């Protein structure tokens, strides 16, 4: 009888492993096969990663999916004597992934979320039917076509923060809108019905069973002519009208903020019935607007008038707020000025080793509160009657995806303090922005 010593067991295990190995049949190694050619993607699907994001599309482009987004990391540094607690800070201003695409070459969709602190999660969520450039129908949540700077993407604004007129136009709202471009882009129009929202605010639902109508006409009068140097001139007018009725819990009124995002006007609020100002009646906005982009030079101007009927208990008033701003910019080198942002022609990191584009800008803005708001509907020791601000900014566009900005804004006030005028606000803001 054989005795299986540990040595013999190890020899037996090694033999079994050799017999079961895939190379046991062939005594000599097979020649190495040439690498297989990559097989075509099923259905002709194309996957791309570019500075504009990651996209997946069908061969005929009838189906397209894009993954894009941007992150803005800001710093706000206020002069100490004018500072309010918590004003000076570092923050993630926006952290927004963007999913958009096309279906059947007829429908476009967009889904924009925000993961920044204290920000609403959902910003854009809409479906758009576009049978032609002249007629497009959009349904969902998006920007109403009123404010000029408000409808400019947050990654393309000249300054770190938008100017005072943006306080008086809607931010995001749910509705349906028909819009399009006519005469080779010479004239664009938009007409929509929305739930309605307070100035400077966003809304997801309709709280008062009434709707706002919003419209805009915008022309590029020289776009289709031989005067190509003036093709960057755009002139337009926008308006909205509706009925808004607030309550003690949802007033239909929003605070007004400086460029440094500090509140300088707020309506009276209280705990008892009739102690809180609420929207109650017609709300009308009107905004003539325009811009000019000529090579490295850019300029933008807009005026906004917002008239709202309000109640405070048995008291009723029709209050009008007005604001305007004008800004100018100059691209020192590396690009051209544009409403859609500067696109560097010599980006940093390219083979030629460019430096990107540098842009300088300045602006002036003013906002006037209806004098009839004081002192019944607003406390003059807490809310200012007027705000006026000027600022300067420097932008460095390293490439089409990275921007570094530094701005300074000075805002002075009439009223807003116990002893008279609120102390002027001086703030330096910086931003590091990555988009894709």
Using the 8-state DSSP alphabet, how is residue 40 labeled? P
Our measurement of the distance from residue 29's CA atom to the centroid of its chain's CA atoms, rounded to an integer in Å, reads: 62
Q: Would you give per-residue pLDDT tens digits along the chain (436 residues)?
A: 444 344 443 443 444 344 334 443 334 444 444 544 444 455 678 999 988 899 999 988 899 999 999 999 999 999 877 766 668 999 999 999 999 999 999 999 999 999 999 899 999 999 999 999 999 999 999 999 999 999 999 999 999 999 999 999 999 999 999 999 999 999 999 999 999 999 999 999 988 889 999 999 999 999 988 888 899 999 999 999 999 999 988 999 999 999 999 999 999 998 876 899 999 999 999 999 999 999 999 999 999 999 999 999 999 999 999 999 999 999 999 999 999 999 999 898 766 678 999 999 999 999 999 999 999 999 999 999 999 999 999 999 999 999 999 999 999 999 999 999 999 999 999 999 999 9
C-beta separation of 123 from 172 below 8 A = yes
168 closest CA partner among 140, 152, 148: 148
Phi and psi (nearest 5°) for 148? Answer: -70, -55
Count of C-beta atoms within a 10 Å radius of residue 298: 23
Distance, in Å, from the CA atom of 66 to the CA atom of 109, rounded to the nearest integer, reads: 10
Tokens for 148, please give them. 């000029």
**Which domains can be identified in the chain, with CATH numbers?**
44-435 (2.40.160.10)
Using the 8-state DSSP alphabet, how is residue 148 labeled? T
Q: What's the pTM value of the predicted model, to 2 decimals?
A: 0.86
C-beta separation of 240 from 284 below 8 A = yes
């Amino acid at each position: 009888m054989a005795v299986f010593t540990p040595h013999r067991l190890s020899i037996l295990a090694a033999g079994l492993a050799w017999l079961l190995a895939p190379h046991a049949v062939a005594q000599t190694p097979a020649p190495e096969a040439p690498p297989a050619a990559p097989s075509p993607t099923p259905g002709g699907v194309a996957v791309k990663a570019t500075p504009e994001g990651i996209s997946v599309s069908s061969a005929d482009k009838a189906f397209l999916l894009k993954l894009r987004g941007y992150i803005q990391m800001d710093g706000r540094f206020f002069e100490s004597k004018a500072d309010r607690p918590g004003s000076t800070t570092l923050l993630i201003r926006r952290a927004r992934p963007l999913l958009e695409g096309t279906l059947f070459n007829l429908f476009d969709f967009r889904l924009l979320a925000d993961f920044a602190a204290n920000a609403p999660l959902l910003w854009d969520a809409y479906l758009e039917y576009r049978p032609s450039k002249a007629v497009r129908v959009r349904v969902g949540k998006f920007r109403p076509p009123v404010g000029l700077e408000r409808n400019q993407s947050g990654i393309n604004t000249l300054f770190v923060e938008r100017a005072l007129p943006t306080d008086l136009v809607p931010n995001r709202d749910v509705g349906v809108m028909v819009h399009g471009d006519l005469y080779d882009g010479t004239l664009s129009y938009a007409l929509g019905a929305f739930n309605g929202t307070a100035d400077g605010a966003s809304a997801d639902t309709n709280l008062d069973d009434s709707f706002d109508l919003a419209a805009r006409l915008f022309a590029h009068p020289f776009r289709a002519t031989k005067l190509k140097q003036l093709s960057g001139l755009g002139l337009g007018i926008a308006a909205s009208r509706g009925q808004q009725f607030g309550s003690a819990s949802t007033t239909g009124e929003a605070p007004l903020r400086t460029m440094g995002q500090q509140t300088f006007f707020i309506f009276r609020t209280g705990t008892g019935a009739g102690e809180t100002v609420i929207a109650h009646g017609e709300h009308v906005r009107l905004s003539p607007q325009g811009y000019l982009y000529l090579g490295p030079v850019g300029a933008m101007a807009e005026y906004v008038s917002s008239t709202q009927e309000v109640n405070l208990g048995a008291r009723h008033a029709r209050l009008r707020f007005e604001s305007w701003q004008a800004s100018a910019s100059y691209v020192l080198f590396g690009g051209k000025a544009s409403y859609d942002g500067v696109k560097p022609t010599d980006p940093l990191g390219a083979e030629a080793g460019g430096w990107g584009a540098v842009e300088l800008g300045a602006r002036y803005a003013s906002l006037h509160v209806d004098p009839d708001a004081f002192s019944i509907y607003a406390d003059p020791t807490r809310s200012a009657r007027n705000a006026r601000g000027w600022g300067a900014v420097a932008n460095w566009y390293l490439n089409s995806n990275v921007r570094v900005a530094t701005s300074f804004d000075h805002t002075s006030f009439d009223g807003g303090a116990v002893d008279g005028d609120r102390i002027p606000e001086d703030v330096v803001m910086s931003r590091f922005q990555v988009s894709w």
